[in-house]
Every structure is written in structure tokens, then in C-alpha cells.
Amino acid sequence: MTANISLSATARSNLLALQNTASLIGRTQDRLSTGLAIKSPMDDAVKYFQAKSLSDRASDLSERKDSIDQGVSTLETVVKATEGMEKLVKQMKGIVESASSQSKEDRKEATTQLKELASQIQLLVDDASYKGLNLLNSTASTLSVRFSEKTDSKIDVDGVNFNSSNFFLDKAGAAQSLMAATGTGAEILSALGFTDSLSNYGLTDAAKLASFNAKVVDVLQGLDKTISTLRAKAATIANNAAILNVRLDFTKEYVNVLQGGSDKLTLADLNEEGANILALQTRQQLGIQALSLAGQAEQSILRLVQ
């Protein structure tokens, strides 16, 4: 038969207090090591799920942020391409403007230069692609960027057709069919508005020179119209890029706010927990002393019966 050992009420009370103190010390040390006051629903179900909701929202928006950032890069690619296209058109203008004062041989070379510039504009359009999306070679191309899970929280940027067959305009704004990649110099001149090769114009005769200069004015007006249209489209795209940058900055800040709100619900106050651990260790030492004193009372009875 096993004999039961009975502890006094005082000893049991002191022992229970020590156990509770040890449990609190363990919890406080865990908070200090992890930095978290709430790690699971068992710690505080309400705060845990509130914090989780905020963290999940922040995570979802972080993914949107990456998509917005890529959208900005896509539009920046387009803007840079349009800047290059404008420079090439201006070069074409310079060649046309100087044709009146050039020799026949120089004008023949100018035709080759115009063809090359038109070809380079088409190549620039073809190369203005970002992650497989080209907003300069087709009106069917669309960049769609979503800002959140709401269906209407997004922006759609439509592409434009700046292929050489549709890019160059006459002075009235009508598109000129210019096949820059395969067209001959004469065909390109015809698309720009000239009725003959530059070298075939007899500029020594005053009347012919005046007629040629009139053609030059028409071509320059068409190129100016082309540049104006290019700038208008580029401004629209740049404006959309600015909108995306605003949304990108907002999303970054919003994610920080959401994560900060989640942290307020779950993070431990390290200063408070540091003070707690000191107080609990002191309480633990006092509990050990109290338990020792309770044991000394029983030892006194033992000395009396010896």
C-alpha cells in the first residue's frame, strides 16, 4: 500500500504560485525572443484574426504593387520610343528643308537618307516591346493594370498604330501608305508628297524651283502634322504613366499602413516585457524563499520530537 505525502496548505499555495510565475516567465521570454505577443488564436482570437486580415490585405496589395511597377516600365518604354521617333522625323525634316539648296547628287543621297530614316522609325516601333506587349504597333494592344480586387479599380491603356504605313501624315492629317521596310526611295518620296525623285527636279529654272519649294512646304507640313500627332499620343501615354506612378506610391504607403496596423495588434512591447521579466524573476526568488520558510516550520516540529 502506497503512502500519500501531504503538504501543508501554505506549502501548496507557495508551490502553485511558483508554478504560475514560471509559466509567466516562459511566456515573457518567448515574447522577448520572437517579438510577438500574439502568435495564434489561442493567445487572443479577436486580435489574431484582425491582424491576419490586415496582413492578408497587405500581401494582396504587394502583388498588385509589382504589377503596377511593371505597368510603369511598359509605358516608360513607349514614351522613350516616341521620343526617339520624334528625333528621327525631325532629321527627315532637316533633309527635306535643305534639299532646295543642294546639288543633284546631294539630293540623290538625300533620298537614300530619307528611306533609311523611315526604315529606322519602323524598326524602333517594332522594338518598343516590354514583356511581349507592344503599344505602338497595333490599336488592338492594351495594357490593363489592376489596383485592387475591385473590378473597377484599374486602368486600361490602349495601343496605337504607329507602323510606317499609318504613321506618316500629309498636311491635311491623312495617313500616308509608307512601307518603310520594303519600299524604294521613290515610293517613300511619293508617300511623303513628292511627285518625283529629288534628283530629277530641275532646280536651275526659277519656275521649277518655286514648284519644288511648294512641294517641300507641303511635305514639311505633313511631317509637322506627324510630329504633332506623335506628341499628342505620347502625352496621353505619359499621363497614364504618371497615374500609375501615383498609384504605385499610394500602394507602397498603404501596404506599410496595413502592416503597421497588424503589428500594433500582435507585436510585443519589448520595454514592457523586459520590465516584466525582471519583476517575475524577483517574484520567483521571493516564492522560493516563502516555500523555504514553510518547510522550516515543519523542521521545527521535527526537532521537538527528537
We report the CATH number of the domain holding residue 119 as: 1.20.1330.10
The answer on 204 and 109 residing in a single domain is: yes
> What's residue 270's pLDDT?
61
The answer on 130 and 237 residing in a single domain is: yes
Under a CB-based contact definition with an 8 Å cutoff, are residues 231 and 160 in contact? no
The answer on 216 and 118 residing in a single domain is: yes
3-state secondary structure of 185: helix
The answer on 150 and 58 residing in a single domain is: yes
Which domain range does residue 142 map to? 49-254
User: Is 176 domain-assigned?
Assistant: yes
H helix or E strand, kind and range, residue 133: strand 133-134
CA–CA gap between residue 30 and residue 156 (Å, rounded) = 49
User: Is 290 domain-assigned?
Assistant: yes
How close are the terminal C-alpha atoms of the chain, in Å?
A: 27
The three three-digit cell numbers of residue 147, written as one number = 489596383
The answer on 161 and 87 residing in a single domain is: yes
Tens digit of each residue's pLDDT, the chain (306 residues): 455 555 556 666 766 766 677 666 666 666 666 666 677 777 778 887 888 888 888 888 888 898 999 999 999 999 999 999 999 999 999 999 998 888 888 888 888 898 889 889 999 999 999 999 999 999 999 999 999 877 788 999 999 999 988 888 888 888 887 765 455 667 788 778 787 778 777 777 788 788 888 888 989 999 999 999 999 999 999 999 999 999 999 999 999 999 888 877 776 656 665 776 677 677 667 666 766 666 665 565 555 555
The answer on 298 and 198 residing in a single domain is: no
Overall domain count for the chain: 2
The three three-digit cell numbers of residue 244, written as one number = 500609375
The three three-digit cell numbers of residue 281, written as one number = 524573476
Give the contacts of 172 (CB within 8 A, at least 6 positions apart).
Answer: 225
> What's residue 95's pLDDT?
92
Under a CB-based contact definition with an 8 Å cutoff, are residues 250 and 19 in contact? no
> What's residue 1's pLDDT?
47
> What's residue 155's pLDDT?
93
User: Is 287 domain-assigned?
Assistant: yes
Closest CA to 280 of 23, 103, 11: 23
The answer on 304 and 231 residing in a single domain is: no
Distance of CA 150 to the CA centre of its chain: 18
Under a CB-based contact definition with an 8 Å cutoff, are residues 4 and 249 in contact? no
The three three-digit cell numbers of residue 10, written as one number = 501554505
The answer on 69 and 197 residing in a single domain is: yes
> What's residue 285's pLDDT?
74
The answer on 159 and 75 residing in a single domain is: yes
> What's residue 267's pLDDT?
62
The answer on 158 and 103 residing in a single domain is: yes
The answer on 290 and 183 residing in a single domain is: no
Q: Which long-range contacts (CB under 8 A, 24 or more apart) does 8-17 make?
A: 8/294, 8/297, 8/298, 10/294, 10/297, 11/291, 11/294, 11/295, 14/287, 14/290, 14/291, 14/294, 15/291, 17/287, 17/290
